Amino acid sequence: MKFFIYATLFLSGLFLISCQSTKDIYIVRHAEKSTEPANDPHLTAEGKLRAETLKDILKDKKIKAIFSTEKKRTVETATPLSKLMNIPIQYYGNDTLQNFLQMVTGLKKNALIIGHSNTCITMMSTLNLPYTITFIPDNGYENIFIIKIKKRKPVKIIETYYNSLSPKN
C-alpha cells in the first residue's frame, strides 16, 4: 500500500513539474496606427481599443515579462497590460531579433512581445517551426502568435486572431 502512495505522489510530482516547464510567448503586431507623426505615429482610437482588448485577453495568461520596440505604437499597445500587471516594458531592437528571441525563449516565464508586421514574421522564421502566416498586410493587426516553450526550447507555434470589437478569446 505504501508503494502505491509513494508511486502516486512521485507521478503527481512529475506531472506538476512537466506542466510548469511549459511556458508561452505571445507575439503580436502593434495595434492600429495613425499617420502622424510620420516617422513614429501614435495609435488611433481603434488601436487604443485593440490594446485594451489585448490586455483583457492576456490578463489571466500569467505574463511576467513584456517586450516592445521603442516606437510609440508598440509601447502604446503594451501599456494597458503593463499597467494592469505592474510589469515594466523592456525594450528590444529590431537589429538583434535572433539574439533577443533566443533570450526570451530561455526565460522561465510567460512573456509578451509587441513587434511590427515584418518583425513578427522574422521571429517566426527564426524558430524553425512550422507556421502558415508568412505576411501581415498593412491593415492586419489581429494576429497572435503563441510560441509554446518546453525545457527552454520552442516546440510549437499556435497562430490565432483577436478582434478589437470582441474581447473574447
> What is the torsional sign of CA 123, 33, 160, 80?
positive
What is the arrangement of strands in the sheet containing 22-29, beginning at the earlier edge strand?
Answer: 89-91, 63-68, 110-115, 22-29, 143-150, 153-161
Extract the C-alpha cell encoding 74.
508598440
In a domain, 86, yes or no: yes
**Alpha-helical regions (H) of the chain:** 2-20, 45-58, 72-85, 97-105, 117-126
- Quote the number of domains for the chain: 1
In a domain, 129, yes or no: yes
Q: In the prediction, which pLDDT does 13 show?
A: 46
Angle between helices 72-85 and 45-58 (to 10 degrees): 40
In a domain, 12, yes or no: no
Read off the CATH number of the domain in which 156 is found: 3.40.50.1240
Residue of 103, 43, 44, 105 lying closest to 74 (CA atoms): 43
Give tens-digit pLDDT for 7-60. Answer: 444 444 444 444 456 799 999 999 999 999 999 999 999 999 999 999 999 999
In a domain, 107, yes or no: yes
In a domain, 61, yes or no: yes
In a domain, 154, yes or no: yes
In a domain, 1, yes or no: no
- Longest Cα–Cα distance of the chain, Å, equals 72
With 70 as the cut, is the pLDDT of residue 80 above it?
yes
In a domain, 13, yes or no: no
- Domain enclosing residue 118, as ranges: 22-161
Give the SS3 label for residue 107.
coil
Counting residues of the chain whose pLDDT is more than 70, the rounded percentage is 85
Non-local (6+) Cβ contacts of 34 within 8 A are: 41, 42, 43, 44, 47
Q: In the prediction, which pLDDT does 22 show?
A: 79
Extract the C-alpha cell encoding 3.
508503494
